[in-house]
Homo-oligomer: A and B are copies of this chain.
Amino acid sequence: MERIVVPPREGRAARVRRGQRVRVVDLEGAQVGDLFAFVAEDVGEYASAEHTRVAVGRLFPRPGEAFVTNRRRPILRFEADTSPGIHDMLLAACDPTRYRGLGVEGWHASCQENLQTAMASVGQTRVEVPQPINLFMNIPLDAEGGLGFAPAPSRAGDHVELRAELDCIVVVSACPQDLVPINANGITPLAIELLD
Which listed residue (B49, B57, B72) contacts A98, Cβ 8 A? B72
> Chain A at the B interface: mostly helix, strand, loop or mixed?
loop
User: A59 vs B146: C-alpha distance in the bound complex, in angstroms?
Assistant: 7
Q: Would you call A91 an interface residue if the criterion is a C-beta within 8 Å of the partner chain's C-beta atoms?
A: yes
Tell whether, in the assembled complex, residue A146 and residue B57 are in contact, meaning their CB atoms are under 8 Å apart. Answer: yes
Nearest B residue to A97 via CB reads B72
Nearest B residue to A69 via CB reads B97
Q: Would you call A178 an interface residue if the criterion is a C-beta within 8 Å of the partner chain's C-beta atoms?
A: no
Tell whether, in the assembled complex, residue A58 and residue B98 are in contact, meaning their CB atoms are under 8 Å apart. Answer: no
Q: Would you call A106 an interface residue if the criterion is a C-beta within 8 Å of the partner chain's C-beta atoms?
A: no
**Known: A97-B72, A146-B57, A147-B53. Contact between A92 and B131, CB under 8 A?**
no
How many whole Å from A176's CB to the nearest CB in chain B? 16
The A17-56 residues at the B interface (CB cut-off 8 A) are 48-51, 53-54
Assembly stoichiometry (copies): 2
The A88-106 residues at the B interface (CB cut-off 8 A) are 90-92, 95, 97-98, 101
A179 / chain B contacts, CB cutoff of 8 Å:
none
A64 / chain B contacts, CB cutoff of 8 Å:
none
Identify 12 new A-B residue pairs, CB closer than 8 A, beyond the known A50-B92, A53-B92: A48-B92, A51-B92, A53-B90, A53-B147, A57-B147, A58-B145, A70-B92, A70-B129, A72-B95, A131-B131, A141-B141, A141-B145
Residues of chain A touching chain B, judged by Cβ–Cβ distance below 8 Å, are: 48-51, 53-54, 57-60, 70-72, 90-92, 95, 97-98, 101, 128-129, 131, 141, 144-148
